[in-house]
Amino acid sequence: MDVAIKTIGLTKQYGSFVALEPLNIEVKKGEILGYLGPNGAGKTTTIRSMLGLIKPTGGRAEIFGIDTQANKVEAHKHIAYIPGESTFWPNLTGAETLYLLGRINGAVDNKYMAELIKRFQFDVSKKVRAYSKGNRQKINIIAALMTKADLLIMDEPTTGLDPIMEQAFKECVMEAKANGQTVFLSSHILEEVEALCDRIGILRSGKLVELGTLSEMRHLAALTVQATFENKPPKVDHIKGVSGIKVVGHQLTCQVQGSIDPLFSALVAAHPKTLLSREPSLEELFLSLYGEEEVRNKDQVS
């Protein structure tokens, strides 16, 4: 079986509000899929429906071919889940909590657990209520990684972690990938997603609007061009495909979609001091998608 996750028309409605429109997505075994979207887009809803914590109003999800609604327990044997935050029993210590979660899970790699505890500098002797937010999140991370499950589902896993721990987390995910584990990673930290993910899905208002590799998406998106001049920059707003023009002093920044020839000719003709063009970062891609949304909202209001 080389498909780890498969959703078939997975839908969730709360009353008449559609939190997740029919979602069809396939994640291959060994792949890391980034799952992005603005607040309230439906990422957590997707994950909780896949896990069977909430009941989808339509469609279904399969984990390694096992239906997650009909056969939750079997499906969960393949899954480790890292929520963005969770409530642990305040009176149990970190060690007790990890022991308990391991027992419930069944198989645990104890050596790896000890290594994880060391790597994340986690003090297991404290009671849960005495942990700081980031330290509490480490329980989630360690408990999930120590199972070496076939599929890791993560919903903002690094909430509250400091940059060093975030780095440690990234390394662990790389290791998991090297192990052949599959990862479904929902996150707002785009730099993390950019560094780790093979493919990226972008969700907006419950609809999957983009799905592909980063380079595929870049082709769709605009190129950023930046040029500085001795004097005032030339006017470029009449050129086809150019948008987002910003002029600061003698510097001009803009985006261009489609052919870049006309823009380049115009800029070169004005004798630029420097001329820079680069592919958009994931952040810029993401922001451009947000931008569209904002424009759409404005249209609706007026």
Partner 1 sequence: MSATTNAVPSTAKFLRSPRTAVGRFVAKHTARSSLILGMILVFYMISKASTYLVAYPTEAARQKIAESLGTNVGIEALLGAAHHIDTVSGYVTWNFLCLITAVGAIWALLITTKTFRGEEDAGRWELFLAGQTTARRAASNALAGLASGLVIVYTICFLGLLGISRFNGAYFTLSACLFFALALTAGAAEFMAIGFLASQLMPTRSRAAGLSAVIFGVFYMIRLTADSTSAHWLLNVSPLGWIERLQPMYNSQPIWLLPIGGFVLVLSGLAIWLAGRRDLGDGIVADKDTAKPHTRFLRSPFGVALRLNRAVILGWLIAVISIAYIYGELTKSAAQIVQSTTVESVFSRLAQAAHTQAVLAFLGFTLFFIMLVVMFYVASAVGRMRDDEAKGYLDNFLVRPVSRNRWLLGRIFLMTTVVVIACLLGGLSTWAGEATQHGGVTFHTLLLAGVNIMAPVLLILGIGIFSFGVMPRLTSVITFAAIGWSFLITMLGSGVSLNHWLLDTSLFHHVALVPAVGANWTTSGILVVLGLIFGLIGVLRFNTRDLRGE
Ligand X SMILES: Nc1ncnc2c1ncn2[C@@H]1O[C@H](COP(=O)(O)OP(=O)(O)OP(=O)(O)O)[C@@H](O)[C@H]1O
Residue 163 one-letter amino acid: P
Among 79, 176, 185, 202, binds partner 1 (CB under 8 A): 79
Q: Beta-carbon neighbour count of residue 129 at 10 Å? A: 11
Tokens read off for 256:
């261009």
- Asked whether position 159 contacts Mg ion by CB under 5 A, the answer is no
In the bound state with ligand X, the residue whose beta carbon lies nearer, of 141 and 203, is 203
Residue 277 one-letter amino acid: S
Instruction: Give residues 26-55 in contact with partner 1 (rule: CB under 8 A).
Output: 48, 51-55
Q: How buried is residue 99: exposed, middle or buried, by Cβ count under 10 Å (0-12/13-18/19+)?
A: middle
Which positions lie near ligand X, rule CB under 6 A? 14, 17, 19, 37, 39-45
- Asked whether position 73 contacts partner 1 by CB under 8 A, the answer is yes
Instruction: Give residues 38-97 in contact with Mg ion (rule: CB under 5 A).
Output: 44
From the list ligand X, Mg ion, partner 1, none, partner contacted by residue 79 (C-beta under 5 to 8 A by kind): partner 1
Least distance between partner 1 and beta carbon 72 (Å): 6
Q: Beta-carbon neighbour count of residue 226 at 10 Å? A: 15
What residues have CB less than 8 Å from 43, skipping those under 6 apart? 35, 36, 37, 155, 186, 203
- Asked whether position 81 contacts partner 1 by CB under 8 A, the answer is yes
Residue 287 and residue 281: Cα distance in Å, rounded?
10
Contact positions toward Mg ion, by CB under 5 A?
Answer: 44
| Binding stretches for partner 1 (CB under 8 A) | 48, 51-55, 72-74, 76-77, 79, 81, 83, 86-93, 95-96, 99-101, 103-106, 124-127, 129-130, 297, 301
